Copies of this chain bind each other. A is one copy, B any other.
Amino acid sequence: MKLYDCQIAPNPRRVRIFLAEKGVEIERVELNIAEGDNLKPDFLAINPRGLLPTLVLDDGTVLDECVAISRWVEETWPNPPLMGTNARDKAFIESRNRHMEIDGFMSVAEIFRNSHPSFRDRGLPGLSAVPAIPQLVDRGRAGIARFFERLNSDLGQHPFVAGDQFSIADITALSVVDFAGWVKEKVPQHHVNTHRWYEAVSKRPSAAA
C-alpha cells in the first residue's frame, strides 16, 4: 500500500490529518507538484487524473479524492470514528463535509488557481492547458466571505462543524481556513465562534501532520 502525497498541498494534508487522528501510518511517496511530478507520465500511469493524494491498495485498487481515501481508512480502522456511526450521523457529517468542500475549499481554490502566476494554464486541478479566468478570483473572494459568515454562525450552535464530536468535517474546515491564508483571506476578527473552534482544532497533534 502506498500513499502518493505532497507535503505542501492542502488536499494531501486532509488525509494526513485523518490518518494521524486514527493513529495509522501508511508508506508515503512524496511528489513535488511545484515541479509538476503529478502530471508526468510515471504518475499519470497510476492515476490518469493526476491528483494528489492518491492511495494504491495492496490489491492494486487506485483511490483518489480525499473523502474516498478517508472512507477506506474509516472502514478499515473504525476507531476513533470520524465519519459517524449511525445513519443520521453518517449522512449529516457527509452533508456538512460537503459544505466545507463546496462552499469553502472550492472558493479558495478558485482564488488561488486563477491568480497565482504558476497556475496560469492550470485553472483546474490535475490538468494543464486550462487557462486561468481572472473573474473567478472575485467570485471566490465573495464565496469565502459568505462561507466564513455561515461557519461562524454554525459554530455558535455546536462545538464542532458537524455537531458535538470532532469529525472529517472539522478536518476539511481547518484545511479551508489555513488554505485561505495563502490568498490573504482571514477569518474576520469578530467571528468569535470560529476563532474558538480554530484554536481548539489547531492544537490537536494531528494538525501538524
Count the A residues whose beta carbon is within 8 Å of the partner chain — how many? 40
Q: Pick from B57, B67, B124: contact of A98, CB below 8 A.
A: B67
Please classify the interface of chain A as helix (H, G, I), strand (E, B), loop, or mixed, using the class held by over half of its residues. helix
Tell me the bound Cα distance from A135 to B133 in angstroms. 7
How many copies of the chain does the oligomer comprise?
Answer: 2
Whole-angstrom distance between the Cβ of A107 and the nearest chain B Cβ = 9
Q: Does A80 have its Cβ within 8 Å of any Cβ on chain B?
A: no
A71 near B49 with CB under 8 A, answer no
B87 near A76 with CB under 8 A, answer yes
Chain B residues positioned under 8 Å from A31 (CB to CB): none
Q: Does A42 have its Cβ within 8 Å of any Cβ on chain B?
A: no
Q: Which 5 A-B pairs have the closest CB atoms?
A: A75-B87, A72-B91, A68-B95, A68-B94, A65-B98
